[in-house]
Structure 1
Amino acid sequence: MPRWQELQPLPTPWQRKDDGILPLWWDRLCTVTSPQSAALYAAGLFTEDRRRPIAQWFNPSNGSALLVAPETSPEWPVQRFGIFYAPPGGGFTRVHSAAHEWHPRDPRTPPTEDQAFQDAVEEAARFLQVEMDFV
């Protein structure tokens, strides 16, 4: 069991949905930017569901979502996981967080991709706890 789940369970309305990026992300991004700009955002993250791993939560009661996914272009020497939030009622934002990075050219040098991903997931879960205090 991940460390963040040992500390506190996720708030009840949030459901984990890791099977594919929710269409909600594309819709929200297109309302903030043009479809052309949206297609380029985070190296095509929302147009091509090709890079893994992702972690994603959805709150069907208010239409909000949270996503952890790679946000850098695959050819960059440093890769990074970003945390993205779609609040209730509309909009889209990148959550400012610690740099969850790894170096693909040195896959065994810490932090590894898996460590960076787990750290980003833990931070996202903490964000959900705080977010629920304001909803």
Structure 2
Amino acid sequence: MPSWQDRPPLPATWQRCDARILPLWWDRACAQMGEQSAALYAAGLFTEDRRRPIAQWFNPAFKAALLVAPETSPEWPVQRFGIFYAPPDAGFVRIHSAPHEWSPRQPRKSPTEQEAFLAAIAEAERFLQVEMDFV
């Protein structure tokens, strides 16, 4: 995997903010699918700020965001990081990408949780580079 120093810098309008899941996700999920379905989506990802690690980018100029977070229920034998995109102004979609999975039952076997997370972040950053060409 290439070093972060070898990757082009992210567009300046995207700010990294990993402290907590942005309220934007809950608002958009409710608007798109209703509150009850939004609460169950991706194992409660948008209602319970408990699943870690996460990586988020926010573009205040476009009111857009990108999220990398665990999307499977904690009791599943294989865990997976999902990449979610909130395009400018409304809605959200799951970005279809390579599976960024790991097995919690074999925490030292590759890919580990950390390896899967870093791979998902790299793919999310590539998505942001491409997305800025269309915005």
Unaligned runs of 5+ in 1: none
Q: Segments of 4+ in structure 1 off by > 6 A?
A: none
Unaligned runs of 5+ in 2: none
Give 1:3 deviation, angstroms: 2.6
Counterparts of 1:10-21 in structure 2, within 5 Å, are 10-21=10-21
Q: Give 3-state SS (helix, strand or coil) of 1:111's partner.
A: coil
Cα 1:4/1:126, change in 2 over 3 Å: farther
Query: TM-score when scaled to structure 1?
Result: 0.97
Indicate whether 1:62 and 2:62 are aligned: yes
Partners of 1:15 and 1:59 within 8 A in 2: yes
What is the distance in 2 between the residues matched to 1:31 and 1:52? 25
For residues 89-128 of structure 1, the C-alpha deviation after alignment (integer angstroms, 9 at most, x for no partner) is: 2011000000000000000000000000000000000000
For residues 63-82 of structure 1, the C-alpha deviation after alignment (integer angstroms, 9 at most, x for no partner) is: 00000000000000000000
Q: How many residues align?
A: 134
Deviates most, 6-15 or 99-108: 6-15
RMSD, matched Cα: 1.0
Query: TM-score when scaled to structure 2?
Result: 0.97
Aligned to 2:32: 32
Partners of 1:43 and 1:73 within 8 A in 2: yes
Give 1:7 deviation, angstroms: 1.5
